[in-house]
Amino acid sequence: MDWSSIGNALSTGWDSVSGYATEAFNWIGDNPEAANLIGGIAAGVGQAYLQNEQAKDERAFKREMYERGVRDRQVNPGEIGDYGSYRNTLTKGLISNGMIAGGQ
């Protein structure tokens, strides 16, 4: 690998990039109205993109909140815990007033 040829290629590339940038800035200085127009268009496109991304995020957030609400309203029998505290009152006839279970 010849490092001097790589350095020369990078130098040549940098010179062409810096020359292009210099020409672009000179053009902007010579045409301020066109530069303002191009800048306004670029700013408008950027703002529209940002608003679209924010709207996507908001829709995703609302969808997630809706799904959580639906999930929270559903009964999950596997998550219901200890019924032991209710066992004695059910056998004494909480619902039937003791007539079916026979407890008084």
pLDDT tens figures, 14-28:
677 787 888 888 888
- For residue 25, give the nearest of 35, 33, 15 by alpha carbon: 35
Q: What is the pTM of this model?
A: 0.42
Answer whether residue 67 is part of any domain: yes
Domain containing 70: what range? 40-76
Answer whether residue 69 is part of any domain: yes
Answer whether residue 57 is part of any domain: yes
- Please say whether the dihedral angle defined by the alpha carbons of residues 45, 47, 50 and 51, taken in this order, is positive or negative: negative
Answer whether residue 30 is part of any domain: no
Percent of the chain with pLDDT over 90: 29
Answer whether residue 54 is part of any domain: yes
Q: What is the pLDDT of residues 43-79, one digit of tens each?
A: 999 999 999 999 999 999 999 999 998 888 876 665 5
Count of domains in the chain?
1
Answer whether residue 15 is part of any domain: no
Which SS3 state, helix, strand or coil, does residue 69 take? helix
The beta-strand segments (E) located in the chain are none
Answer whether residue 14 is part of any domain: no
Answer whether residue 27 is part of any domain: no
